[in-house]
Structure 1
Amino acid sequence: GQIFSSSLPPPVLTLFPPSSAELQSNKASLVCLSSQSVPFADVSWLAGGSPVSSGISTSTAVQQPDQTFQISSFLAIQTSDWNMEKVYTCKVSLGSQTAEKNINKSDCPTEE
């Protein structure tokens, strides 16, 4: 069996911006992928530094071929907020470890 200790590696986060097609339709979403060594974690989102309570949909963990687990969390956002370069943060807590990653419009290359 596995021994859960406080020395779990922190989750590895990848954040994806809205697609340009989404941005044109005014319904945009951010995707946060969390890769971790156990099948559970708490995912939360911040917008402009404030906790977000609605528009979040987080999947259950899916085991990957390399024995890690991946959780995906989607955050529905306002296109206008994104265009005003509001900073969004995906935060994943796993025991005593917390990982967070920020994304905003200026981080992302413009797609033509």
Structure 2
Amino acid sequence: MLAGDALARVTAHGLGTRSAARLLVAPEGVVLARAGAADVLVPAADLRAVHDEPFQVGKVVPRRGLLVLDWSLGATLVSTAVHLRHAATRPDLEAAITALLPTTGPRS
């Protein structure tokens, strides 16, 4: 979806196709390895934030809910939500993705 606009679904690069996916974090960025759809690489330089949301359009998950990546797709800020099958993986994934976020100064 477009960041900040829950009703605007992004379809570029097949992003509008829902599918089971694995999140893989590497120094180059985050790969959404999707079943039945093309994988998507979010380059580390394009990452803007990682956070939790209880829902996005068509997806509702209680408690910590969805793991959401905010990232730049060209000049457009988009959000990609992933429902983690194993909640125990969340802290490590969030830490690994946070480590890739571009810095504009010292982190607090």
TM-score (norm: length of structure 2):
0.31
TM-score (norm: length of structure 1):
0.30
Which is strand-richer, 1 or 2?
A: 1
Between 1 and 2, higher relative CO (CA 8 Å, sep ≥ 6) is seen in 1
Higher radius of gyration, 1 or 2? 1
Which is helix-richer, 1 or 2?
A: 2
